[in-house]
Amino acid sequence: MPEKHQPELKRSVTPWGSFSWGYSDVGADIFVGLGLVLGAAAGASNVAFLFAGIVYVCIGLAYTELAATYPVAGGGQYFVMRGLGDFLGFIAGWAVLLDFTIDVTLFAWSCVDYLSEVVPVLLNPIHPWIHFIAVFGLIAGLCLLNVLGVRESTTFNGVVSALDVISETSILFFGFLFAFRPELLVHTMTTQWPSTFNLMLGASYAIISFVGLESISQAAQETQRPASVIPRTSIALILTILIYALAYSNLALGMVPWHQVPPDAMGHAQTLWQWLGNNDNNGKAVALLAKEVPYFGALAALYVPILGAILLLISSNSGVFGSSRIAYAMANAKLLPSIFQRVNRRFRTPAISIISFCAIAVVELVFAAWPSLDPGAAAFYAKFFHGEGGIGFLGDLYAFGAATSYSFVFLALIALRMNDPLSPRKFRIPFNIPMTYKGERVLFPVIGVLGFMGILSILVFTILTHDLGRIAGPAWLILGFIIFVIYRRNKGLPVFGSAPHDWRHEQIGILRDAGELELMDEYLASLKAREPARATEAR
């Protein structure tokens, strides 16, 4: 198939820019995930975060190696397609699309929750219709901005990320200094240890605090010297988010509130973590926790909700932009209908993709808000789904999409190690077993297997503990499968097989375009040593 010249993405993302791309997405997750996990796992919230954090480290290392080796836009969908074929590449990409549309709704929802702390018209309790209209307005506005071609800049991401790093570090510093009591932490863990079901529920929610590292690999094609930059920025992001998640969960469980927290709906006294984890507050737990920090809390009450809302809005916008980019890439790879490739002639944006997936985000919003808007729907949800709705429903789908996609990414890592050992890996996950496969020396990734087992267990937890999520998540995959089968059959392409790909020729182009000429020469030398004719032809 003849190649068509296309405008190339500008490689203008610096190391800090690469970090801020990831942080503006992953960093926002703790604003959403903390309250959900506290409400589910109670005294074992820190354990839930620890388990999810260990899995997250494995995920982060896998993405770091893959994004540095294959620095192209597309992220996990591309890695899985290259390692496991078109069909599984589609499933992974379709699961990521679920997460991106949830990004749009979940972060817009939480953005309104955080703004309710400082905007008088939204002061608690937020009327359900005001909340719904505000979230809908944000989604519609972001959709319009992306159709017009307006998107957050790397510079703005960097500024907001820097401010948020300073803010979250300050909350932890003053919280541990003035209000944390180790004996209270031990007491809470001892007396409020959850049931096995709730611990699994908490772990399934905890993983959403670590979703978004893929943003760095999404920006790989726009990053300067990605093979060198991505490992540094990814590892820095992994450590930053892991420290924050563990620190915030322990602080919440062991912190004496500066002011007496309000009683619950039944008039009973609450501890701080119970207050943060209840349904009215779990969407804005970080802002409420910051207010309870002695001395620092008065200042934090003024700016943390605003800063959190800005970061959440950027993440919501990343969902709009990311979903359209993934759909565009999947259409280009003949995994989705070509309509998702169409670019608006006036604005030069994939308007159909943007509008389509924003519409799906609105559908998700309706399902999430329905129980609070309609008493009849609330009774139905209470009967069949244990009252699951709102931000919990969005968290269910978010965890399902992430766990599904990440499971395939680990399998792709293993497959690419075995089937593509010649591609230079400037960063390689540690703890490997040397072996021979198809006559080539390969390094089998032990962490890849452990990570796959960990994320698969979280996927199982999600399915077991979320009544609505275990219906909606698989239904999304089935819908995608139907679209995929109809499209591929109409195009005369194999459904479970793959279209022809010349991955070696493509890899040379990837490294050349990335400016990684030394790695390209290394790759060509490896090819020449094994297949001299093909190496010369590929070059």
pLDDT tens digits, 232-252: 888 888 888 899 999 999 999
Q: Which residues pair with 435 in a beta bridge?
A: 442
448 and 524 in a single domain? The answer is no
DSSP codes joined into one string, 415-426: HHHHH-TTS--S
266 and 169 in a single domain? The answer is yes
452 and 363 in a single domain? The answer is yes
Residue 340, token pair as written in the block: 């998702």
Cβ atoms of 259 and 292 within 8 Å: the answer is yes
Domain that holds residue 525: 502-539
Amino acid, res. 283: G
208 and 186 in a single domain? The answer is yes
Q: Is residue 16 part of a domain?
A: no
pLDDT in tens, 275-284: 787 766 666 8
The CATH number of whichever domain residue 357 belongs to comes to 1.20.1740.10
496 and 510 in a single domain? The answer is no
CB atoms within 10 A of CB 191: 9
273 and 349 in a single domain? The answer is yes
449 and 521 in a single domain? The answer is no
Quick one: pLDDT at residue 23? Answer: 75
CA distance 369 to 92: 28
Quick one: pLDDT at residue 139? Answer: 92
Q: Is residue 286 part of a domain?
A: yes
Confidence class of residue 91 from pLDDT cuts 50, 70 and 90? very high
486 and 523 in a single domain? The answer is no
**Which residue, 214, 489, 221, 476, is CA-closest to 334?**
489
CA distance 55 to 278: 26
Cβ atoms of 62 and 410 within 8 Å: the answer is yes
Q: Is residue 138 part of a domain?
A: yes
Quick one: pLDDT at residue 3? Answer: 44
% of the chain at pLDDT higher than 90: 29
497 and 510 in a single domain? The answer is no
pTM of the model: 0.83
443 and 516 in a single domain? The answer is no
CA distance 23 to 27: 5
Q: Is residue 15 part of a domain?
A: no
Q: Is residue 13 part of a domain?
A: no
Q: Is residue 337 part of a domain?
A: yes
471 and 509 in a single domain? The answer is no
Residue, of 318 and 421, whose pLDDT is higher? 421
pLDDT in tens, 102-120: 889 988 988 888 888 877 6
**What average pLDDT does range 76-103 have in this prediction?**
90
**What average pLDDT does range 485-499 have in this prediction?**
90
Which residues lie closer than 8 Å to 210 by C-beta, 6 or more apart? Answer: 26, 29, 52, 53, 55, 56, 59, 241, 242, 245
Number of domains in the chain: 2
Q: Is residue 332 part of a domain?
A: yes
Confidence class of residue 8 from pLDDT cuts 50, 70 and 90? very low
**What average pLDDT does range 265-281 have in this prediction?**
72
268 and 122 in a single domain? The answer is yes
Confidence class of residue 125 from pLDDT cuts 50, 70 and 90? low
